[in-house]
Amino acid sequence: MEILRVEDLCKTYGAGETRVEAVKNVSFSMSRGEFGTVVGVSGSGKSTLLHCIGGLDTADGGKVFLNGRDIFHMKENERTIFRRRNVGFIFQSFHLVQELTVEQNIIFPLLLDYRKPEKASVEEMLEVLGLENRRHHLPGQLSGGQQQRTAIGRALITKPSIVLADEPTGNLDSKSSQDVMDLLLGASKHFKQTVLMITHNMNLTTSADRVFRVADGKLEELGGGQE
């Protein structure tokens, strides 16, 4: 089942001598449950691509379809609601609410959408993330890896169509990075969740279903991580 389809996506910043084509005619698609990674040097356009796919930024041309709906044909308020319900975001900085516990941070997106958390779903999420014993801890009482696991739970709890992860291991040491990657892969398979993740670490691409590279705004597929 196709979850994401990107057609001739373009994004340009600036004008004249300062004009930068951050994304150039990018086209690809992803199916349910696929785990894709995007690699590329700093400034190649990776984050811009991810932000356009997630509706955090608008494109200058092309289309992005999520579950068959063109997100750029929505009004801003409609796109905000659609994004909240269909896209999970994980960033390099954890962006946790410091006054909320692990469990409260995870269910926060549901509360924003006026939805009642299902106890069984919350328990399952805490178990998958290995955070059962940290559920009442505040972010300041957690390691970096535990905070990122909490952020992963927050992204997954709404059962979004796709999770977009922008350098989720960028602030972690190598062991914590691999632990978070393994956890994200495991959660993706467990929940049949489509994930597209930006990383600068080629070692983290080896288990991905698909590996893409962005260079000067252009996207090419390198194949599967295990090939």
R_g (Cα) of the chain, nearest Å = 17
Question: Does residue 126 register a pLDDT over 90?
Answer: yes
Predicted confidence (pLDDT) per residue in 26-70, tens digit: 999 999 999 999 998 888 889 999 999 999 999 999 999 999 999
Q: How far, rounded to the nearest angstrom, does the alpha carbon of residue 61 sit from its chain's CA centroid?
A: 22
Question: Does residue 99 register a pLDDT over 90?
Answer: yes
Angle at 32 between CA 95 and CA 85, to 5 degrees: 45
Q: Is residue 193 part of a domain?
A: yes
Q: What DSSP line would sit under 22-35, residue for residue?
A: EEEEEEEEEETT-E
pLDDT on residue 225: 57
Taking the alpha carbons of 33, 149, 96, 197 in that order, is the dihedral positive or negative? negative
Question: Does residue 226 register a pLDDT over 60?
Answer: no
Q: Output the CA–CA distances (angstroms, integers) from residue 158 to 35, 44, 109, 161, 225, in the order listed.
A: 18, 31, 7, 9, 28
The whole-angstrom separation of Cα 5 and Cα 81 is 20
Predicted confidence (pLDDT) per residue in 105-122, tens digit: 999 999 999 999 999 999
Q: Is residue 99 part of a domain?
A: yes
Q: Is residue 23 part of a domain?
A: no
35-39/210-215 β-pairing: parallel
Q: Is residue 190 part of a domain?
A: yes
The whole-angstrom separation of Cα 209 and Cα 193 is 12
Domain CATH code at residue 40: 3.40.50.300
Q: Is residue 199 part of a domain?
A: yes
Please, which residues have CB within 8 angstroms of residue 90's CB and are 6 or more apart in sequence? 148, 151, 152, 155, 163, 164, 165, 166, 168, 184, 197
- What is the residue range of 155's domain? 32-57+75-223
* Phi and psi, residue 115, nearest 5°: -115, 140
Share above pLDDT 90 across residues of the chain, in percent, rounded to a whole number: 73
Q: Is residue 20 part of a domain?
A: no
* Phi and psi, residue 9, nearest 5°: -70, 135
Q: How confident is the model at residue 102 (pLDDT cuts 50, 70, 90)?
A: very high
Domain count of the fold of the chain = 1
